[in-house]
Structure formats: structure tokens, C-alpha cells
Structure 1
Amino acid sequence: MLATALVATVLAACSTARPMLAGQVEQATPVDAKSAPRELSIFSINDFHGHIQAKSPTPLMPRLPDAQTGEIKAQAAGGIAYLAAAMSKLRAGRAHAVFVAAGDLIGASPLYSSLLKDEPSLAALGELDLVASALGNHELDAGLMELKRKANGECPALGCAWPDYKGPGFPYLAANMLDAQTGKPILATHIIKEVAGFKVAFVGAVTRDTPMVVIPKSIVGLRFADEADTLNALLPQLRAEGAQVLVAVMHEGASHSGGANDPSYECPGLQGRGVDIARRLDPAYAIIISGHTHQAYTCKINGRLLVQAGSYGGWVTESRLTLDASGKVLDAQSVNHPVLQSAYTPNPAFVALVQRAAALTAAVRNKPVAELKQGAQRSVQAPFGDSTLGNLIADSQLAYAKKRGSADLALMNTGGIRADLTVEPGRPVTMSDLFAIQPFANELVVMTISGAQLRELLQRQLPKDDASPRLLQVSGSLRYQYSVGADGQAKLGAVSVGGQPLNDQRKYRLVVNNFMAEGGDGQSVLRQGTERVSVGVDIDAMVELLSENPEVVTQIASGRIRRE
């Protein structure tokens, strides 16, 4: 049975540790001022997204030398049973260790977890003795009330989706998510734990950009403040509560083109909001554990560790702080450990948990959709700005809307495309495969916009300063070009809809998901759309297209968006 004596002990301990808004404090034993330096190990993950099941290698998994050939390639990694085994082995040699997370543990999850309201993922992570997690934007996908229900282990009148669900046993921390009217935090700001004889404060923050990446109706009444400013303002309270070591755990991060581990910690090319926050955060914080960008890195900004553990449980970051008697950092080292399936024997209790989730979701997951000859990828190859999978999704949504009314074009945000469409010989593509690509079950909205508004929308989403583009994916009825000048600024070129030049005065019927329709990803122009009609759910559009015309995948190519 899953509930082993060890698991029961962990859950019993965690279940009593409910957060208070001002933070939670455990009594620490006195520290001898003459004692020798001690080492504190902080293990961390981020962006787990409900990936409890073990999967085959994907481009997002650790890229390491193959054991047989030495070729650098993606390795099979992650899955809760392997993560549990890795954590057990890694913690065995650490006398003073703690496990925390930097958000997005749930949301945008595969069917194993999402069909069960992500309850098995939260239960499993709690059993790994996770003491706290920063709130991630995806934890709010279903709204704050639903998050609180799951965090508190409460079940609806008809019962929880995961039998005997009792909650995760750890608190979500979000110092900068505030009640819009009172300005007070909604969730706990921090939690203080005794580790290695020190009072260690874990202080959490969610990305201030949450309104840009969450459907507005899910965050009504909430305000998101600057991460660094908020954490800095908490210092007097943390010190008053006796905190000796401060750890910032935030769901915001950086972009990194280097390896998962940099022995020098210099990380050349590291950039993004995570770096800016690190530079502005008070030096009193000993380390910054980050998330959100799905990157794996171990870096130092102004001499302080800024770390992240990739995504989906494929990595675990171990950060080791050597502290003097007062809690001052004498040395800080960090390493990202790959959770390779080839390196660990999966924990049997968590194997049973995944098998239970598989059985409860099998009927939906295994439903066949179509036999396909080839798949489609979400990656973009220059000089194009569109991918084969992005095109396929946009085409499916346009076709779906046309059957139910009128539509001229469709746009799809790249952030909503979570996996490639992979095809295995002799096996049909299933609902599980498609849901892994589009796990949000977004509604499709048809709206009217002018040609001028479409032109403005396309111009605004072009890359800035020659950054890597993450352009809206387009249906086959829309084609355009853009160029990047010597100053690094992108400019929209020729645009056509239905084979005709874009007419600024004409009205067009546009299909987008409801996340985009409400201005998500900064697409504020779409809020101006009128005559809105909801026509169905995004995954249903893909199911309909592939089941009726499985050959369509072989006919789609990149080139609808071209950089001149």
C-alpha cells in the first residue's frame, strides 16, 4: 500500500503545519556562538506541472552523454517514482536538508493528474516531505477558491477526484499576491523551519506578470506586486520573528543558453526578470530559488546563488550553504542532479500511486483519435516564425469555427502548446497524446476585429531587440513577413488574409482561445474584439480535424510567417 509507515509519519507531520498569513514559526534550539560552521542543504524543484508518470525522452528533458555512444541527447528523466528515489538517495548523505519548490507544481498537467484535479500530484509531493512551495501562476488556472480547496485538503459534496485526498500538507507562499482592496497578502508570505539549528525563513513570491498569463476571471480581486520590493519589505518582520537564514523562493526566473551546471557560476548570457530581481533583492537573502522559465541553471548574481531545476521533475537542484554560528553564509555551492530513469530504481509506493491514477483515468486517456503517418513539432526553424504543430492547431480551430458559423483566420499562442505531436508506428494517437499538447481545455472564441487591429496585434508581438521570437501561430489563411532593422527592432511587412492583402478597414472574424481573447500574454488588442461567440473547446477542434482528415498532418509545412 502507498501509505507506508514513513509516508504516514511525513503526512502526519505536514498536516499540522498549516500556514498563517504572517508566516509560520517553529522553535529553534539555541546556537552556540563558538560552534563550528555547519552546512545546510536545500533541495528544490519547480514547474512540475503534474508530471507524475514517467515518460520517454523529450527535448525538455536533461541532455547528457548517452551511456553507450557518448552522444549528447535527451535522456528519459522524471516521474514521481523516480523523483522519490532520487530524493531519498540524495538526502541520505545530508544531515541537515530541506526540500522546497518554486511553483507551478500543478496546472497544465497531463491527463493522469489533470483529470483528477491534480490531487494525486499534490498528495505525492507532500509525501516527499516538501515543506513549502512558492505559488506559481498555473496554480491559479482554476481560480483561487479551487486552489485553497485543494491546499486545505477539502472535498466537494460529491467527493474528491482522488480517493481519500487529504491535501498536500505543505503551504503555498505568495508574499506579493495581495487582496486588491485591502492590499494584504492572500496566502502565507513565509514559513520558518528549524534546520541545522537555525531558524530558516522560506519567503515566497509569484511572478508579478501573473495577470498576463492567467485568465482574468481566475484572478478577480487580486493584485500582484513587484517581487523584490515585496520580499525586501518583509525583512523587519522576518528578523522580529527570529529568522537567521533567509531563502527567497520565487516563481520567476531567467533565460539561460548554457548547461544545467556552470562550475564557475558565471553563466554568461543569463538574462531576464529573474536576473533583475536578483540584483535588486536585499543581500540579507542567502539564496534565490527560481522557477517559471523551465530552465536548468546554477548561477551567481553579485556573488549570490540564483538556481533553477528545469521542469517536470527531470532535475533536482541541491544548494549547499556553509553557515557560521550567526547564520552568515561562508560558502555557497549548487548542482543540478538529473533524475535519470536509468540511474534509479523507482520507489514502489509511488509506482503504485501512478498505477492508481492510470486506472482511474484509463477510459479517457486511451480513447483513440486517429492513425497518423507522421507527427508535428512545436519548435520553429529560421527563417520561419511558425511551426508545423502551431499551424496544425490554428488550422483545426479555424475549421472547427467555420463548421459552426463564419471565420476568416485563427491565432494560437505558443505558450499554450505544451508538447510535440509524436507518432509511434502501429499505435493510434490518443486523447492523452492530444491533451499533453493542449492541457488547458480552453474555450474557442470567435470575435470581430478590424484589419487595422489585426495589423497592430501582429506588430506588437514581434520580437524586441532581436530576441528569439515566440510568435502567435497562424492558420493557413493568414501569411505575413517581418524584418529586423540594424537597431534590433522588428517591423511588420506584407500581410495577407485569404490570399488577399490585409485591408485595414475590413472586418474579420478571428478565432482564438479564451485566454488570448481576454488579453492573455499581453494581447490587449484582442480585448477590443466584438460580436464574441464561444464555439467549443480547443482540444475538441483538434480531435475533429484529425479524426476526419488524418492526412492533414502530412500536408502542413512551415512558412506562413517569414523573416525577411
Structure 2
Amino acid sequence: MHFQIKTLALLVGLACTQPLFAAECGGKVGFGEAAGRVLTQVDNRAVGENCFNDLIVDTDAEGANYGNHGEFVSGFGALARDWRSKGLVSEREYGELMSAAARSNVGKTLKLRVIAFNDFHGNIDGAALTLSSSADGFSGVRAGGVDYLAGLVKQLRASAPNSVVVSAGDLIGASPLNSALFHDEPAIETMNRLGLDFNAVGNHEFDEGKDELLRMKAGGCHPTDANSCQGNAVGTPYPFEGAAFDFLAANVTDGTTGKTVFPAYGIKEYKGIRVAFIGMTLKGTPSIVTPGGIVGLQFGDEADTVNALIGKLKDDGVNAVVVLVHEGGYASGGINGCNGISGPIADIVQRLDDAVDLVVSGHTHAAYNCTLPNRNGRSIPVTSAGSYGRLLTRIDLVLDTRRRDVIAARATNLVVDRNNALGAAEPIVPDAAIAGIVANYNALSGPIANRVIGSITATLSRSANAAGESVLGDVIADGQLLATAPADKGGAVVAFMNPGGIRADFTYAGSSAGEGDGQVTYGEAFTVQPFGNSLVVKTLSGQQIHDLLNQQWAVGQSASGRILQVSEGFSYKHTFTPGVSPLGGNYLCDGSVMLNGTPIDKAAPYRVTMNSFLATGGDNFSVFNLGTDQLGGDVDLDALAAWFAVRAPAAPTPLDRIQKVASCN
């Protein structure tokens, strides 16, 4: 059966956008279009400046939007009776028109447009954001910024009377300075004005702990930071208004009460059809956030959580189900590709109840547009829009108005193209009010962000080599050791840095202080290390350091391992091959762990630096919890700035601290 998507309600006497004359009303009267079109023998004649077919609102272009087939037939009946009473159609023609309307598919389907993104991370200003895709044939396209994101949302909503805007997590956290300095209130305020409806919590929503996340929803000022509540300066309400949209957290529960921290799902109703949006984060969140921020919370399995809700939703009259999950995968083939999809999302979808119609995913910052099999073998759309608001996913769902369920779907990832470089038919018009808010926050944060803290001679990259070492990882670890080596600062001899805490590169050609001059600003450094962790020094034995290194590829880490970055003077060898070597093995070469050229003594104590995230066992490095004689230190970003002050201009380090070998023998 052919289903036609309908948009606006039938209006008696609806005028065409461009006047027509009687001579232009050719053909016969029909209902619907394409394969589902029902034609009559009634001539398509003029009614004033309009034609019969133009007054029958039954196609996408005209804006048909009926809750059921009967609503269309009833509405058209009023129009046809008006024509009959005015002598425009005969009794026979009236009957033929009514019969054809009844036989048509008009009103048997309804279209819902889901507008989705993920991993926005507070990137409110898109001035420096770019997007490249070799598979799609473009590079360095300026993309993103919440004002342009809002402009594209407005454009997509204008052509779809039924729409919803959703985010699959990490809306906030790990954000640039112009949002993070104000505890991501700018991200929430601008998303309110963009029209976001639902945000599934991601792991980074918990960066500042549960209570702060609750404030993000409820509003009010931060209890201790004067940078909060800048509404009077930027043109938003004072005090901070909180999120006008819903946070969803189906699999995040209070361990004592068993209740969810936020609602498990939200429901939207379109012409009587109820659609549920279930939101959740990855079950592994506790291993990648600061443990102290989620004390007492439990994170359930994603698929099990969804499946347990289906019965309740059906009891509530909901057949159409969309899942927003902050977990994802990786695929090739361009921004709409799905070649070789891998990662947790495929397993999650494969275990989902057949009632789920669409999965919007995130977390990996990858862009893909897939159809993947559920537990019944039925393929459903699974999407991800990359990161930072540079892409937006347009998903058009077709719902059967009788079954009140999804019967078809089509998804496309669109570039939030700031310069119309890709030649879209309709360029994006940025939202001026949102742009003004962003400009005001930039003005507040500018003096801090633009302060030059050092310089570089070439790009310092976070990309790791085959052994797992990166230039930027070396630099950050060196800065932490420099800050904690003095006796009164902890007397550290080695520093370890988690790679997930390094969020961007220091790019030589893109330095904001001047194109290609190599100057590094505080704002750029903040983008690299946005979490505000403090440094911690603890005493670990040599054996514990060995155990710590083996935890890099322990069960529970990612398939590629999680290689800690190490400071100058520390080195070791291992045999782990990312994606090939099974987790849980011992890949550290015994006797290869060296400090300043001398093997580590397993029985001796060593003063070790880490950030506060690692110090409490973050990223599954529980050995750090065993350290003794703890001493707190500087904020990690201050340590990096101090390192630049004495090492500038900084050059890339030789990657020789961590070595991958074929065999330890």
C-alpha cells in the first residue's frame, strides 16, 4: 500500500499562493499522489482564482496533516457540499468525489520529523569549527555554532508541521571556555531558544556531579561560583532559568530508592498519536566519570532498560518508540555511511524489543546513518550526528494513523554549513537572538580566553602512535610533573595522564592569536583540558606501578586499551595490539619499566602524580586508590600554563617513552 505523508489541516476556501485562472485548471480532480493517487472523471475547474485540486489539501506540498482518514473525508465533505450548493458540481459529481475521497489513502498516514544531534559539548560558538569528510569530497567546511544550528532547526521545522528536536547526550561538559566558565549555562540557555525538546543524559552531564546536573534542569545560581547567573549581562533571565527541555535518564537510578534521577522517557502527541522518547546514557558511565560525582547512582544495561519499559508504554497507548542513547559505534563511508559498523551500539540494537522504531545514538563522536537488526531481525534506523553541532540528522518517520505506529523512516545527516559551501538549495539563516547571547558570553570570557600563555613550533597532537603515546600526552604529563616535583608540592618523580582528558590538539596553523604564529592562548589550553581537575600526588610501590600499567588493557577498558600518558624520564615496553589483543592479559614487559634509566624497584616507594579524576579510580584505574600520603596540588590547566611559561616555544617531543614490541624476549 502506498502511504502519503500529510502536513496541514484542510481549510475550506484555501487560497493558492499564486493566483490561477480558469484556463489553467486542467486535468481531472484527484486525491493523494503518485502510486496512491485516486483520479475521478470530474474536471478540475476554477473556483474564483483557485482550482479544485488546489483546494483539496491532500499532499505534502499543500500541508496535509490529518489524524486519520475519516478526518480528511469529513473535511473534504464540507468543501464538496459547498461546491454542490453553489452549483459548481452536480449531484453525480459530488457523489463521485466523495467516493474517491473515501477510497484514497489520504489521512491514513502521518509524518513526524525527528531533528537530532549529539555530543554538542557546549560548543555555542562555531566560528572556529570545521568539518571534513574525504568520503563525501569536502574538507575544512566551516560548520556549527548554536545560532546556525538553530537556523537549520527552524528551516527543517518550517517544512514539517509535526516535529521534535532531540539530543543523544553530552549536551554539556568538556565544553569550550565561553560555556564552561559559566558552568554551561550558556549551552542550556541557547538550547532553550533553539527549541530542544529532549536530551538523554550522557556521561559528561555528570562531570560536576548529580546535584549540579539537577541545577541545570531546575535553574538557580551556582552555590559558590560568581561566574554563574550572567543573565543581566548577556540578555537572558536572572537567575539562571534552567532547562526548558527534559533531561531523560531511564537507566540512571538512585541506589536507595530505585527511582530514576530524571524521567525515563517523554511522550509527544501528534494528532492523537502518542510517540515515546526513551533517553539514557551508556552503562559504563561510572568508569569514565569522577566517582565522587555519582555516589549512590546505578547505571543499568541499555537494552534491558528499554525492553523493560515497552509493556508500560503499550499499556499507555504508545506504539511508536524512539530511543535516545548516549552510546555508539564507528563506521566508514562518509557522514551518511555505515560501512563496517562496530562498537557497542550494534549489540544494543540487536537486543532491543521489536517495538523500538528508531535509535539516535552518540558518545563516539562518529557520524553514521545505519539500519541495524533488532532481536527479531527487523532492521531499524540507527543514527549519529558526529559532534559539536556540526551535523544535524533529519529523520522523517511515517506513522500509520490506525495502528499509531511507525511504518517507514528515512534519515539524512546534514552539515550545519555556515557558508553554504556545499551548495544547499536553501542556505542557513542563523538565529540573530541566539547569536547575540553567544557574542555577549564571548565578550565576558574574551579577556581570559585571549591571554597568551606560550607558543609552539608545530602542532602538538593528541593522536597516539601504535604504542599508545602522543606528543600532547607527553607535554601534559611533563607539565604535571613540573608542578609537583618540588618537595613542598609533593616530591613527585613521575606523572600519569588519562588520554580521555585531552580533548583537542594545539594546532600551529590554527592558533587564535594569529594565523600560523604558534602562539597559544588560555582559551585554547582550556579547550584541550576543560575539566578543571586538580593534581594529586600519592605514594605507590613499584609493584603497584606495574599493576597500574597492566590495568591499561584490563577487562572493562575499551578494545583499544586505555594507554596512560607518562612524563619525561619514565618508560616501558608492552606487546598489546589495539583491537587485536584480548583484554585481560598481561602485556607489560617485566623489567622494562624504567625511571631515568634505572629499572623500577617493585619494593620501593615512588611519589606519583595524577589528576583528581584518576586519583579516585576514574577510567577503571583502581590502583590509584591504593596510593598513600595524598597531597593536593594545582589545577591541571594552571600546571600546563606554567609549563608553557618555561618551555616556550614548545616543540613536539620524540615518542620514545612507551614502546610496543613484538615480544618481550
Q: Same fold (TM over 0.5)?
A: yes
Of stretches 92-101 and 467-476 in structure 1, the one that deviates more from structure 2 is: 467-476
Residue 139 of structure 2 corresponds to residue 139 of structure 1: no
The secondary structure found in structure 2 opposite 1:256 is strand
- Distance change (3 Å), C-alpha of 1:430 and 1:484: closer
Deviation at 1:488?
3.0
- Deviation per CA, 1:89-126, whole angstroms, max 9, x where unpaired? 23332232211111111111111001111111101111
User: Quick one: higher RCO (CA 8 Å, sep 6+), 1 or 2?
Assistant: 1
- Which of 323, 342, 356 aligns to 2:419? It is 342
After superposition, the C-alpha distances for 1:472-512 in whole angstroms (9 at most, x for unaligned) are 11111211222248973462222212211232222211111
Report the equivalent of 1:559. Answer: 656
Q: Provide the secondary structure at the position in 2 that maps to 1:554.
A: coil
Tell me the matched-pair count: 525
3-state SS in 1 of match to 2:485: helix
Could you tell me whether the CA contact under 8 Å between 2:173 and 2:184 is conserved in 1? yes
More displaced stretch, 411-420 vs 241-250: 241-250
Alpha carbons of structure 1 residues 526 and 373: separation in structure 2 relative to 1, 3 Å = same
Change (3 A) 1:235 1:29: farther
Query: Which amino acid is the alignment partner of residue 369 of structure 1?
Result: I
Equivalent position amino acid for 2:343 in 1: G
2:588 is matched with which residue? 492
Q: Aligned residue for 1:512?
A: 610
Is the CA contact (8 Å cut-off) linking 2:477 and 2:566 kept in structure 1? Answer: yes
The 5-angstrom pairing of residues 151-230 of structure 1 reads 151-156=217-222, 160-163=229-232, 164=237, 165-195=240-270, 197-230=272-305
**2:167 is matched with which residue?**
101
User: What letter corresponds to residue 392 of structure 2 in structure 1?
Assistant: V
- C-alpha separation in 2, matches of 1:29 and 1:330: 16
8 Å Cα contact 1:381-1:387 kept in structure 2: yes
CA distance in 2, matches of 1:146, 1:531: 30
Deviates more, 1:533-542 or 1:466-475: 466-475
Q: CA 1:273/1:427 → structure 2, altered by over 3 Å: closer, same or farther?
A: closer
Deviations 1:371-396 (A, max 9, x none): 333330111233x4211111000000
Cα deviation for residue 466 of structure 1 reads 11
Structure 1 position 427, deviation (Å): 6.6
One-letter amino acid of the counterpart of residue 550, structure 2: Q
Q: Which runs of 5+ in 1 are unaligned?
A: 1-27
Within the candidate set 317, 322, 330, 2:393 is matched to 317
Residue deviations 1:193-229, cap 9 Å, x none?
A: 1135421111111211111111111111211111111
Distance 2:390 2:350 in 1: 28
Match of residue 149 from structure 2: 83
> Unaligned 5+ residue runs, structure 2?
1-64, 71-104, 374-378, 421-427
Q: How far, CA to CA, are the matches of 2:127 and 2:465 in structure 1?
A: 25
Is contact 1:62-1:315 (8 Å) kept?
no
Matched, 1:398 2:442: no
Task: Name the TM-score, length of structure 2 as normaliser.
Answer: 0.75
SS of aligned partner of 2:394: strand
Summarize deviations over 1:114-158 as a string: whole Å, max 9, x none: 111111110111111111110111111112111112211223577
Aligned residue in 2 for 1:476: 568
Alpha-carbon shift at residue 42 of structure 1 (Å): 0.7
Listed as ranges, the matches of 1:56-455 within 5 Å are 56-57=128-129, 61-63=131-133, 72-156=138-222, 160-163=229-232, 164=237, 165-195=240-270, 197-262=272-337, 267-302=338-373, 303-325=379-401, 326-343=403-420, 344-382=428-466, 384-403=467-486, 404-423=489-508, 424=511, 425-426=516-517, 428-455=519-546
Which residue type is aligned with residue 480 of structure 2?
Q
* Deviation per residue, 1:144-174 (Å, 9 max, x gap): 1111122112235777244423222001000
Whether the 8 Å contact between 2:460 and 2:652 is mirrored in structure 1 is: no
CA shift digits 1:44-88 (9 cap, x unpaired): 111101000114355xx342589xxx6x43422111111112222
Go from structure 1 to structure 2 and tell me whether the alpha carbon gap of 1:257 and 1:469 turns closer, same or farther (over 3 Å shift).
farther
Match for 1:544: what amino acid?
A
Q: Does the 8 Å CA contact 1:444/1:534 hold for their aligned counterparts?
A: yes
Q: Which amino acid in the other structure matches residue 602 of structure 2?
A: D
Alignment check: 8 A CA contact 2:135 2:334 kept: no
SS of residue paired to 1:54: coil
- Give 3-state SS (helix, strand or coil) of 1:421's partner: coil
Between the two proteins, what is the percent identity of the paired residues?
39
Q: Which amino acid aligns with 1:41?
A: R
Contact 2:566/2:657 (8 A) holds in 1: yes
Calculate the aligned-residue CA RMSD, in Å: 2.4
**Following TM superposition, by how much is the alpha carbon of 1:346 offset from its aligned partner in structure 2, in angstroms?**
2.8
Relative to 1, partners in 2 of residues 1:539 and 1:156: Cα closer, same or farther, differing over 3 Å?
closer
Question: Offset of 1:298 from its aligned partner?
Answer: 0.8
CA shift at 1:463, angstroms? 8.4
Distance 1:232-1:29 versus aligned 2 partners, 3 A rule: farther
Aligned partner letter, 2:463: S
- Alpha-carbon distance between aligned partners in 1 of 2:365 and 2:419, rounded to the nearest angstrom: 22
Post-superposition offset of 1:39 = 2.1
Q: Report how far residue 347 of structure 1 moved.
A: 2.5
Describe the shift of the 1:292–1:370 C-alpha distance in structure 2 as closer, same or farther (beyond 3 A).
Answer: same
Q: Deviations over 1:293-320 (max 9, x none)?
A: 1111111111011111111001111112
Whether contact under 8 Å (1:65, 1:73) holds in the other structure is no
Alpha-carbon distance in structure 1 between the residues aligned to 2:146 and 2:266: 25
How far apart are residue 232 of structure 1 and its match? Answer: 1.1
Amino acid of the structure 2 residue aligned with 1:492: L
Which stretch shows the higher mean deviation, 360-369 or 161-170?
161-170
In the aligned structure 2, how far is the partner of 1:78 from the partner of 1:161?
24
Letter of the 1:433 counterpart: E
Structure 1 or 2, whichever has the larger Rg, is 2
1:458 aligns with 2:549: yes
The CA distance in 1 between the partners of 2:372 and 2:524, in whole Å, is 40
Q: Work out the CA distance in 1 between the residues paired with 2:132 and 2:396.
A: 22
Of stretches 228-237 and 366-375 in structure 1, the one that deviates more from structure 2 is: 366-375
1:207–1:238: structure 2 CA closer, same or farther, 3 Å change rule? Answer: same
Shift of 1:411: 1.0
After superposition, the C-alpha distances for 1:432-459 in whole angstroms (9 at most, x for unaligned) are: 0100000001011111112222112212
Q: Which has the higher mean CA deviation after the structures are superposed, 237-246 or 397-406?
A: 237-246
Cα deviation, residue 328, structure 1: 3.0
Q: Which amino acid aligns with 2:325?
A: M
